[in-house]
Amino acid sequence: MKVLIAYYSDTGNTEKVAKAIYDSIEHSEKEISLSTDVSDVSDYDLIFCGFPVQSMGLPKKMESFVTGLPEGKKVAYFATHGSLRGGPLAITAFHHAISLGKNLKVMGTFGCRGTVKHGIIDALMKQAEHRGWALEAQSAAGHPDEADLEDAKIFAAAIMIKTRAK
């Protein structure tokens, strides 16, 4: 099986998760690359697509990558975010990612917290409607941590098993 881990990382959080996923994949040909550096995905059996959640969605660079994937391609999404795991902002971002693809076969999703830039938190603290999220995002400092990266490895292993079975 040939596997690609394609990601976009703004602060390094998503890159850490991408590398953990890459390191966990065994018995397969694998590559890791920034999504903007990938030109042809036709030979890959599975693509892990990673991104930082931004405004409940994907960064434009990752949107372009996902919309360019060929119909029927097997994908697994992973994301980093300042929200609590399983929170509505991260879930909305995964729904957005899934809606962008042209009949992609989504094998699974994984999200974990990631440190948010202080400038973003400071700006959102000044806006009453975003203050709650900014306070939540402050507690994401230090993430992804070793436990998050171990969870990413477990996710990748499960996706590999699921993909081989189908």
Domain ranges across the chain: 2-165
Q: What is the pLDDT of residue 23?
A: 97
Which of 115-129 are b and which e, b meaning 16 or more Cβ less than 10 Å from the residue's Cβ? bbeeeebeebeeeee
Q: What is the pLDDT of residue 85?
A: 84
Mean pLDDT of the chain: 94
90: tokens are: 């991260």
CB 47 within 8 A of CB 73: yes
Q: What is the pLDDT of residue 66?
A: 97
Give which of 60, 165, 146, 154 is closest to 105, Cα–Cα.
Answer: 165
Tell me: pLDDT of 77 over 80.
yes
Tell me the β-bridge partners of 110: 78
Q: Report the percent of the chain where pLDDT is more than 70.
A: 99
CATH pick for 2-165 out of 3.40.50.360, 2.60.40.10, 1.10.150.120, 3.30.230.70: 3.40.50.360
pLDDT digits (tens, 9 = 90+) for 5-37: 999 999 999 999 999 999 999 999 999 999 999
Banded model confidence at residue 130, pLDDT cuts 50, 70, 90: confident
Task: Specify the residue for token string 């098993």.
Answer: 161
Tell me: pLDDT of 68 over 80.
yes
The helix/strand/coil state of 37 is: helix
Residue range 111-117: mean pLDDT, rounded = 94
Question: Would the pTM count as exceeding 0.85?
Answer: yes
Report the side by side order of strands in the sheet with 74-81: 29-34, 2-7, 46-52, 74-81, 105-113
